[in-house]
């Protein structure tokens, strides 16, 4: 390192080959900055897990070099790990005002008292170690989103954050993506582009957020009774459009759901949301207005079991009951994995007599991520030497790499990497040179990282066929059974209907014990193995199931 000038290292710690827990490290010598620090929601194969955060071992090992964490926007998959990470690594956090507003709420909820949050505005530049970091306005499904430019001794790096090019943003002309700054950077020469790949398999352009407002208008025009709109609470522009449409149709608006209320309050306070005096009403007051004069804004667009809309659908909400005549707009598409939950919610709403507007074709939702033509424009504006696709499942990264190649970036200058890969760039050459610790840390209740693969494997086995606990009390000195075997099962069969099976199972355990020739010298481990094997085999033959078998020996 001393002889050759240090190269730039780019190390994704999350967000590659997955949607979520975005986190990218940029390192030059003894200076490190981190872009984003997100969480991921658990996959199907992580039962009981609440959320997943990146493994930051690498940063903890290099804690003295970490100058700051920079945030691109306020979505969970970009800021959601901070309440956990800041407890271990308290460094300054830079972000735009709305981003830090939302983060502040989360830190408070998680009892993180001390955090050094430094607000910036699009257009600002800050010096962090050797790095000059710039914030560039982009459009996304949350206001105040920025791309990040990082001037380094080797060259400039541009990280797009999540973006789309919305030519008619809801918040006005001056909030269009800063094309001029991007063009300027491209003119000056960019070493590497790191870019959002979420929609890299979609052709064309992503539709403007503004069109959703037009579709709201259409639904409002036809609705005779109450209107209930479920959306992502962080989509402040969507909320603004719902509120504007409500005003136009002389309806009052009630807001329900913890995250919706919390983000509306922050957005109002910071001026990202404009609501006419008297338009908002308390949810308890909706009964005072005719149904044709009410709009309810709520969470639950993903069918989450505890969210307000889901509870309304299940007739389990304290304050709102769905009645025939209600029109429900689900202004979101299901995040992959949530399809069934959303579909169930829609069905229950229909059963309660509501009209539900939900499908993609109805135009009541648009994506916040750039489609192929926008990605091409970004590449052509930035004209980078090297390209690293970020933020996407493997197929998205691959398609984005292909797109860059089609635009003329040489294959050897494109790096489809994995989390933990160290991509080293000099002015002329790049390579993946090594790998640092990276992965997922599971959060379950108050436990961070105390559930791992063995615990998950056990949970999965338990969920498939349940458990049989076999208890034996053995007199150690005499080497004989003094109580048991007792068998208790959970999640296996209805015991009452399977008495014979359980009797025979006990018999099998006795046979296993006989085989072990129980005496004062017998090893408990041998008994356990024998019980597990014989009973397991018997149960599989009889039921074709493989419950967990847990032999417990008590010594007296």
CB of 501 to its own copies, least distance (A): 9
Which of 57, 405, 426, 498 lies at the binding interface for its own copies (CB under 8 A)? 498
Q: Rounded distance, CA 505 to CA 536, Å? A: 9
**Active-site residue, selected from the candidate residues 159, 317, 369, 396:** 369
Q: Give the separation between CA 392 and CA 389, rounded to whole angstroms.
A: 8
Residues 6+ apart with CB under 8 A from 357: 219, 327, 328, 329, 330, 364
Give min distance, CB of 173 to its own copies, in A: 33
The answer to whether residue 543 forms part of the interface with its own copies (CB under 8 A) is yes
Give how many residues touch its own copies by CB under 8 A. Answer: 68
Mask for 187-206, x = binds its own copies (CB under 8 A) = --------------x-x---
Interface with its own copies by CB under 8 A: which range of 8-16, 349-357, 505-513, 522-530? 349-357
490 contributes a contact to its own copies by CB under 8 A:
yes
Q: Tokens at residue 214, please?
A: 């037009």
CB of 361 to its own copies, least distance (A): 7
31 is catalytic: no
CB 339 to its own copies: min, Å: 5
Residues 379-398 binding its own copies (CB under 8 A) are 393-395, 398
Kindly tell me the sign of the dihedral angle through the C-alpha atoms of 317, 319, 324, 327.
Answer: negative
Q: Which two tokens stand for residue 184?
A: 């300027």
In contact, 284 and 256? CB cutoff 8 Å: no
Phi, psi angles (nearest 5°) of residue 295: -125, 135
Q: Quick check: 12 and 20 in contact, CB under 8 A?
A: no
Shortest distance (Å) from residue 552 CB to its own copies: 5
Among 47, 92, 325, 536, binds its own copies (CB under 8 A): 47
Of 126, 268, 279, 493, the one binding its own copies (CB under 8 A) is 493
Does 491 help bind its own copies (rule: CB under 8 A)?
A: yes
Nearer to its own copies, 459 or 532 (CB): 459
Q: Looking at 184, 269, 316, 486, which residue binds its own copies (CB under 8 A)?
A: 486
**Span interacting with its own copies, options 185-193, 332-340, 377-385, 527-535, rule CB under 8 A:** 332-340
Q: Which stretch binds its own copies (CB under 8 A): 57-65, 236-244, 424-432, 485-493?
A: 485-493
Compute the residue count for the chain: 556
B/e letters for 404-420, b = 16+ CB within 10 Å, e = fewer, are beeeebeeebbbbbebb
Site string for its own copies, 451-470 (x = CB under 8 A): xx-xxx-xxx-xxxxxx-x-
Q: Which two tokens stand for residue 245?
A: 């449409």
CB atoms within 10 A of CB 555: 11
Q: Which of 36, 171, 196, 244 is catalytic?
A: 196
The single residue among 116, 316, 339, 503 that binds its own copies, judged by CB under 8 A, is 339
Interatomic CA distance for residues 193 and 67, integer angstroms? 21
Angle, in degrees to the nearest 10, between helices 97-109 and 258-270: 140
Tokens coding 463: 């969920």
Active site residue 450: no
Gyration radius of the chain over CA positions: 29
Which residue ranges make up the annotated binding site? 48, 50, 73, 75, 77-78, 140, 162, 233-235, 365-369, 391, 444
- What angle is formed at CA 12 by the lines to CA 11 and CA 17, rounded to 5 degrees? 145
E-state strands within 246-316 = 252-256, 280-281, 294-298
Stretch in the footprint of its own copies (CB under 8 A) among 5-13, 365-373, 504-512, 547-555:
547-555
**Based on CB atoms, which residue is closest to its own copies, 65 or 394?**
394
Sheet containing 327-331: order of strands: 280-281, 252-256, 294-298, 227-231, 327-331, 355-357
Chain residues 132-171 in contact with its own copies, contact rule CB under 8 A:
none
State the burial class of residue 86 (Cβ atoms within 10 Å of its Cβ: 0-12, 13-18, 19+): buried
484 sits near its own copies (criterion: CB under 8 A): yes
Interface residue list for its own copies (CB under 8 A): 17, 43-44, 47-48, 201, 203, 336-337, 339-340, 343, 346-348, 350-351, 356, 359, 361, 393-395, 398, 444-447, 450-452, 454-456, 458-460, 462-467, 469, 471, 473, 482-484, 486, 488, 490-494, 497-498, 542-545, 548, 550, 552, 554-556
Residues that are catalytic: 196, 369
């Amino acid at each position: 390192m001393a002889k050759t000038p240090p190269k730039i290292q780019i190390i994704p710690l999350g967000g590659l080959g997955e949607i979520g827990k975005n986190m990218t490290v940029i390192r030059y010598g003894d200076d490190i900055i981190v872009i984003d620090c997100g969480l991921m929601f658990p996959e199907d194969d992580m039962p009981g897990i609440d959320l997943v955060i990146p493994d930051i071992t690498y940063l903890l090992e290099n804690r003295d070099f970490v100058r700051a964490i920079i945030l691109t926007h306020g979505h969970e998959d970009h800021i959601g790990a901070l309440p956990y990470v800041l407890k271990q690594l308290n460094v300054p956090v830079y972000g735009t005002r709305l981003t830090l507003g939302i983060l502040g709420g989360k830190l408070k909820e998680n009892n993180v008292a001390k955090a050094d949050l430094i607000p910036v505005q699009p257009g600002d530049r800050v010096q962090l170690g050797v790095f000059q970091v710039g914030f560039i306005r982009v459009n996304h499904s949350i206001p105040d989103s920025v791309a990040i430019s990082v001037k380094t001794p080797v060259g400039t790096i541009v990280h797009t954050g999540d973006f789309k090019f919305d030519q008619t943003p809801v918040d006005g002309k001056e909030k269009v993506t800063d094309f001029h700054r991007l063009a300027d950077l491209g003119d000056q020469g960019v070493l590497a582009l790191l870019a959002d790949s979420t929609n890299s398999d979609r052709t064309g352009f992503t539709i403007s957020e503004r069109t959703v407002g037009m579709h709201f208008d259409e639904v409002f025009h036809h609705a005779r009774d109450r209107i209930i709109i479920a959306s992502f609470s962080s989509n402040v522009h969507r909320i603004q459009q719902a509120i504007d449409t409500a005003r136009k149709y002389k309806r009052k608006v009630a807001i329900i759901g913890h995250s919706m209320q919390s983000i509306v309050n922050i957005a109002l306070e910071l001026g990202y949301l404009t609501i006419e005096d008297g338009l908002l009403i308390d949810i308890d007051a909706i009964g005072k207005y005719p149904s044709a004069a009410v709009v309810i804004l709520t969470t639950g667009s993903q069918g989450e079991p505890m969210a307000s809309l889901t509870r309304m659908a299940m007739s389990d909400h304290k304050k709102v009951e769905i009645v025939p005549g209600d029109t429900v707009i689900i202004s979101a598409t299901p995040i992959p994995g949530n399809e069934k939950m959303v579909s169930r919610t829609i069905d229950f709403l229909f059963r309660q007599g509501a009209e539900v507007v939900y499908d993609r074709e109805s135009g009541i939702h648009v994506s916040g991520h750039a489609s192929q033509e926008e990605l091409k424009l970004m590449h052509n504006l930035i004209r980078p030497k090297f390209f690293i696709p970020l933020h996407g499942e493997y197929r998205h990264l691959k398609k984005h790499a292909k797109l860059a190649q089609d635009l003329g970036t040489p294959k050897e200058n494109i790096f489809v990497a994995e989390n933990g890969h160290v991509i080293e760039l000099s002015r002329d050459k790049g390579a993946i040179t090594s790998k640092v610790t990276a992965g997922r840390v599971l959060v379950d209740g108050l436990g961070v990282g105390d559930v791992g693969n063995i615990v998950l494997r056990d949970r999965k086995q338990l969920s498939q066929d349940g458990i049989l606990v076999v208890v034996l009390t053995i007199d150690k000195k005499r080497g004989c059974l003094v109580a048991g075997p007792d068998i208790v099962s959970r999640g296996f069969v209805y015991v009452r209907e399977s008495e014979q099976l359980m009797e025979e199972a006990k018999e099998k355990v006795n046979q296993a014990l006989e085989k072990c020739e129980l005496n004062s010298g017998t090893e408990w481990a041998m008994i356990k193995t024998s019980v597990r094997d014989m009973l397991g085999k018997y149960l599989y033959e009889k039921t074709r199931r493989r419950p967990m078998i847990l032999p417990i020996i008590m010594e007296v």
